[in-house]
Amino acid sequence: MSTPDTSLLPRDTPVQLIDEHGTATPDPDYALPSAERLQQAYASLVNGRRINDQCNALVRQGRLAVYPSSNGQEACQVAAALALAEGDWLFPTYRDSVSVIARGVAPEDAMVLLRGDWHSGYNPHAFGVAPQSTPLATQLLHAVGFAHAAMLRGEPTVVLAMCGDGATSEGDFHEAMNFAAVFKLPVVFFVQNNEFAISVPLSRQTAAPSLAHKAIGYGMPGRRVDGNDVAALLAVLQEAVDRGRRGDGPTLVEAHTYRMLAHTNADDDTRYRERDEVQAWVARDPLSRVRTYLRAEELLDDAAEAAMTEEAEGIAAELRAAMNADPELDPQELFAHVFAERPASLEAQWELLHDEIERTEAGA
């Protein structure tokens, strides 16, 4: 019987490099990212918050079908995108639009899925970003399969797979973690623990000391990090990405964060959590702490902030213009790409719809 490698265990407390007051907190294992890196991250955070606010408005105006906001989780979104290099791949969930955009996808193309127009509005190969996954944890299996193929081809690709705390209860999570560990695949499993799986609190999700503790059961390192501290996230995720690229296998990173808004516009979070609890997380906002740090270190001035705000407003304007334009839809696309050869049953459905469209247009 082998002795368990306790170095795989996560810390008792999450890694933090900048506290909620904007003060640097030195860490024996992780260095603070460079000033340029933090400035880049803050600019992306400003864009991310503006994207979240704009998309929430577009949902209320009926221009988006749904928007699972990452408000409060922007540090996780930005760090996941920045930790990867060109040639690496991101496998996002439905809540990770800000991360998708931070990887270079045009904002209006990232919203095509959430408007209900098409399965994905961008070419995944052009950006190294898989289509956003709505079913819980299925993207983890896709990520592992992709990483396995890359390793067999001898490519240096690292794959970062995102999921929430609820996904860790799925069978797909277990299968993906186990396969990745056994074959030492270059995968970073990035769990954004925002305390709720829709209305189910974390206490009803797991009995483990932390989600990162699950890693040792598969034989990979588990890491815990303050999910509202973009500096700590960049440091921890970069270590995990570098580990995968060296051929040392996968890492499970758990980010402790909080979903500040309801699950989606179809959810009423006042039915399952108290306002005092939500309010307590306002002080831990991911933007304000790094802004305070950069200001105190004279790494951010009024001119730089104005330029960031202008860029973010430009993205919002771009989104408004794209979402307020009515798309040209082809109903027959509903039946495309389902089968190589359309079966009779599907052909019959199309004929029914086609007939309905013709009669509607004739009567218009």
Residues with a known catalytic role: 259, 263, 272
Instruction: Give the SS3 label for residue 253.
Output: strand
Is 74 in contact with 98 (CB distance < 8 Å)? yes
Instruction: Give the SS3 label for residue 133.
Output: strand
Q: How far apart are the first and last CA of the chain?
A: 77
- Measured CA to CA, the distance from residue 275 to residue 113 in angstroms comes to 31
Q: What share of the chain is helix, strand, coil (3-state, %, to 5)?
A: 50, 10, 40
Query: Is residue 201 left, alpha or beta, with left meaning phi > 0 and alpha meaning psi from -120 to 50?
Result: beta
Which residues are within 8 A (CB) of 283 and not within 5 positions of it... i.e. 6 or more apart? 20
- Measured CA to CA, the distance from residue 363 to residue 74 in angstroms comes to 49
- Measured CA to CA, the distance from residue 66 to residue 55 in angstroms comes to 9
Look up residue 62 and give its amino acid.
G
Backbone angles phi, psi at 190, to 5 degrees: -110, 105
Q: Is the dihedral of CA 357, 358, 362, 363 positive or negative?
A: negative
Copy the structure tokens of residue 80: 């996941």
